[in-house]
Amino acid sequence: MHHEVTLIATVALAFVFAAVMGYGADRLRLPPLVGYLVAGMLIGPATPGFVADAALSAQLAELGVILLMFGVGLHFSAADLLAVRGVAVPGAIGQIILATLVGIGLCALWGWGIGAGVVFGLSLSVASTVVLLKALEERNMVNSANGRVAVGWLIVEDLAMVLALVLLPAFAGVLGGNAGGAGHGAGNADALTIALNIGKTLLKVGAFAALALYLGPKIVPRLLKMAARTGSRELFTLTVLALALGIAFGAAVVFDVSFALGAFFAGVVMSESRLSHRAAADSLPLQDAFTVLFFVSVGMLFDPTVLFREPGKVIGALALIMIGKSVIAFLIVMALRYPIGLGLTVAASLAQIGEFSFILAGLGISLGLLTREGQDLILAGAILSIILNPLAFMASDALQKIVRVRWPAQWAGYGRQRSDALGAELQRIRDLGEEREAQHQLEMHKLIKTFPLFAQVDEHSLEELMLLFKPSSASPGDRVVRKGDRGDGMFFIAAGAVEVKLEQKSIRLEAGSFFGEMALLSGERRIADVVAIDFCEFLVLSRRDFNRFVAKHPELRAAVSEMASQRRKTNTAPADAE
């Protein structure tokens, strides 16, 4: 096959095999992602037949992770993160430390060195946000309190892994590896070097978060509004993707933050715009497609022979992932005095590993800390835990029912105070979002009520029209339009009243009326002065925006033309002003 079509062949075969295997998994009543993983194995190097380009697949999969994390950010505001910080921050950090220690102990039993144990333990301690989101979506739990805590927990884990990826090269010499293998040029790590690396990493992550959360809401919504004002759906979608991928790439290059976290913050920033729901809808198809490629690429990395070569070690790794981490997370949630149901949900959420585990394993090999056998065990643990993760959620649901029935007092009472406080905070954030949406709907309803002309326009187009309007105001006596001027806009009176001064008479127009349309339709100059006779508020539609909008809505242009024709007859009639 010619190298020019490698990309096409990889994407085409990945989608074809994923579709077939996903459908087969669904017929067997298994999650479709199991089929995607099997598809990756079939086109991977470990099985005979066509072998897809693994490096290319990994980059395509990274796009899936970026788009998925961007989607999470769109529905997960900074306020959500702050609301769950009481359980997510100490919980995630504590769970990573304890799970890593257990991993080090497991490696010691196998006769591995401390460096391999650290990399192995860290790789198994961090769960996959991609897998968690898919599980929560299937159970309609993304917006629940437990779902918010689980997602927040994994976001903190991702932040911790960014720090770990920077610190590992600094500690590689101490742990028995080769620091130069990662290209960081760190010889013998000393306390000063380590401290500088920690400080540099925290400074970069903090600077990126500060810039994203401070400047982002001032710039990103404005860019979205500019794209929406063009009326071009493809340009709006392109702007959304450019912002998501651009911020993710810039975060990785400038601040050494992972693509996934950069995309997450891009989504958080964009969520402040009232166009966020439209951005989410437009990016969803690409998000779904590239997420499939993520699971296919994971399957391609897996060598099934490790299941027969090292069955005991595979079982040990899987037990740490699905039992050890879950028990640790549950005990931490209980120690923080949060509800039992929350603890069981978080425990099930962490019973798998994913993208950061592969990155850590690759770095461990380059540093000489981890062997290929260790990487195979991590991949085996990832594949098996992803496949079995639905069973963890089923077990969580069953345990919740048992506790609720057998120990109703403990179920209802334990952690209730913290649960109520957390629920109240999340509800307050949800109410604010619903209030903003209700206010937006009220504005559209008010626009239709004031100007019945727009009742025939659908909601999507009405939202676009509201972005095109430019507000203006005038005080009594102000000349709004001057006779003889070129018609550059159409004025809709939202409040107040104006007087149209013709040669032989004057016409009074009040709220709900509009003027300036005749010059736009005919291309001629203004034929009358328009003076405010009250404190007025206008919605102004420029010539360019007017022509572009009515071109897509010919029925609206016809209605405006008819009204203009009637007004022209009224203006030339000898009767008094209308």
pLDDT at 94 exceeding the cut of 80: yes
Q: What is the Cα–Cα distance from 307 to 46, expressed in whole angstroms?
A: 13
Tell me if the pTM is above 0.85. no
Q: What is the pLDDT of residues 63-88, one digit of tens each?
A: 877 887 787 777 666 677 778 888 88
Question: What percent of the chain is predicted at pLDDT more than 90?
Answer: 15
User: What's the pLDDT at 184?
Assistant: 41
- What pLDDT score was predicted for residue 317? 92
User: In which band, very low, low, confident or very high, does the pLDDT at 319 lie, cut at 50, 70 and 90?
Assistant: very high
User: Which range is most confident: 12-21, 188-197, 547-556?
Assistant: 12-21
- What is the model's pLDDT at position 442? 67
128, 354 in Cβ contact below 8 A?
yes
Strand residue runs (E) in 402-481: 470-474, 479-481
What is the structure's pLDDT at 187? 44
pLDDT above 70 for 572: no
pLDDT value of position 189: 46
Q: What value does the mean pLDDT of the chain take?
A: 81
What is the mean predicted confidence (pLDDT) over 24-35?
Answer: 80
Alpha-carbon distance of 59 to 228, in angstroms, equals: 30
Lowest-confidence pick of 254-263, 320-329, 343-352? 254-263
396 has pLDDT over 70: yes
- Top pLDDT among 459 and 515 is at 515
**CB crowding 392-418: b at 16 or more within 10 Å, else e:** bbebbeebbeebeeeeeeebeebbeeb
Q: What is the mean pLDDT of residues 259-267?
A: 80
pLDDT of residue 292: 84
Tell me the torsion sign for CA atoms 362, 363, 366, 368: negative
Report CA-CA distances (Å) from 530 to 491, 507, 509, 511, 515.
Answer: 11, 9, 10, 14, 9
Cα 30 off chain centre by:
26
CA 547 to chain centre: 35
Assess whether pLDDT exceeds 90 at residue 301: no
Q: Quote the pLDDT of residue 183.
A: 40
Higher pLDDT, 56 or 119: 119
In the numeric block, the tokens 């946000």 are attached to 129
Give the model confidence (pLDDT) of 406-424 as tens digits: 888 888 888 888 888 887 8
Q: How confident is the model at residue 286 (pLDDT cuts 50, 70, 90)?
A: confident
Find the mean pLDDT for residues 334-344: 90
Confidence bin at 351 (pLDDT 50/70/90): very high
Percent of the chain's residues with pLDDT above 70: 92
**Cβ-based neighbour number of residue 498 at 10 Å:** 26
Q: Which two tokens stand for residue 287?
A: 């998000």
Whether 3 has a pLDDT exceeding 60, the answer reads no
Q: Higher model confidence: residue 524 or residue 181?
A: 524
Residue type, 221: P
pLDDT score of 577: 40
pLDDT at 70: 82
Residue type, 166: V
- The strand order across the sheet containing 506-510 reads 479-481, 529-532, 497-501, 506-510
What would the two tokens of residue 24 be? 């087969």
Q: How far apart are CA 19 and CA 383, in angstroms?
A: 19
Specify the 3-state DSSP secondary structure of 501. Answer: strand
Among 46-50, 147-151, 277-281, top mean pLDDT goes to 147-151
Nearest residue to 292 (alpha-carbon basis) of 523, 32, 47, 66:
32
Length of the chain: 578
Model confidence band, residue 440 (pLDDT cutoffs 50, 70, 90): low
Listed residue (534, 524, 407) closest to 474, CA to CA: 534
Cβ atoms 496, 536 nearer than 8 A:
yes
Question: What number is the average pLDDT over the span 346-352?
Answer: 92
The arithmetic mean of pLDDT across residues 185-194, rounded, is 55
pLDDT over 90 (residue 550): no
Q: Residue 480 pLDDT > 50, yes or no?
A: yes
Predicted local confidence at residue 2, as pLDDT: 52
Residues 30, 49, 63, 325: is their CA dihedral positive or negative? positive
Answer for the pair 291, 68: CB distance below 8 angstroms, yes or no. Answer: yes
